Structure 1
Amino acid sequence: MVATGMRQGQPAPLRLTRRGRIVVLTFFFLLASLASAVLWTTASRADEPSRGPAPTVVVQPNDTLWSIAERVAPDRAPREVIDDIRELNNFKGSYVYAGDTLLVPRGN
């Protein structure tokens, strides 16, 4: 029996050839590329505004553009929201009437 420094019954340590190392590295590179593509796509979709029909509001008695603007976008300046409402509904006036349905900007 030749002494090899290994005990009998133990498997030999795994050794990769040059081709084997290239295959393993390529596999990990492709796996990392796929993971980053999935994460990048998911992150970019989170920043997009939601699609679909614009939200609407039915004007109630005693509502004004100012009160509607404060209600639909409390975190924005009412004057900016009023300008957006006018643009979305294609009107220049300042008065709204009970029962009117207005398109309003999406909340941010």
Structure 2
Amino acid sequence: MRVKRPRPPVRLTRRGRAALVVVVAALSLGGFWLGTRAVSLASVGQPVPSHAGLPWVVVGPGDTLWTIAGAVSPGRDATAVADEIMRLNGLRSSLIRPGTRLYIPSDR
């Protein structure tokens, strides 16, 4: 008759613990990176419909919605024009990045 002995608990060596820490850190950093990518893509907003015939500008370094609004419609309230630019471009926030093409409201 054979007696079954209980197996000893699993023990990690120093190298095993180091490998486990590296794997967990890599997975955490990968998840963090993917999360920040998802947030940055989500903040872009809705897909922009075709705005055939509308004028547009390219955002330059240091530009804000309000400076663009003031430049394209100097006689109007910059906040109202900035809100209209946000609506036209499907923006959910006022954050804009250099190189982005923004459609601007045409003069009526």
Q: Structure 1 length as normaliser, TM-score?
A: 0.50
* Deviation for aligned residue 1:92: 1.6
1:61 corresponds in structure 2 to 61
Structure 2 counterpart SS, 1:102: strand
2-side partners of 1:86 and 1:64: how far apart?
Answer: 12
Alpha-carbon offset, residue 59 of structure 1: 0.3
**Helix, strand or coil: the match of 2:74?**
coil
Q: 1:70 matched to which residue of 2?
A: 70
Identity %: 40
Q: TM-score, normalised by structure 2?
A: 0.50
Partner in structure 1 of residue 83 of structure 2: 83
3-state SS of 2:70 partner: helix
| Letter matched to residue 100 of structure 1 | T
Aligned with 1:82: secondary structure?
A: helix
Deviations 1:19-52 (A, max 9, x none): xxxxxxxxxxxxxxxxxxxxxxxxxxxxxxxxx6
Segments of 4+ moved more than 3 angstroms: none
C-alpha offsets along residues 57-106 of structure 1, whole Å, 9 cap, x if unaligned? Answer: 00010000010000000010001101110110011211111000000001
- Asked if residue 93 in structure 1 is aligned to residue 87 in structure 2, the reply is no
What is the CA RMSD across the aligned residues, in angstroms?
1.1
**Paired residue type of 2:65:** L
| Structure 1: runs of 5+ lacking an equivalent | 1-51
Q: Is the 8 A contact 1:85 1:102 kept in 2?
A: yes
**Which residues of structure 2 form unaligned runs of 5+?**
1-51
Match of 1:104 in 2: 104
State the distance in 1 between where 2:73 and 2:106 align.
8
**Which residue identity does 1:71 align to in structure 2?**
A
Q: How far apart are the structure 2 equivalents of 1:81 and 1:103?
A: 11
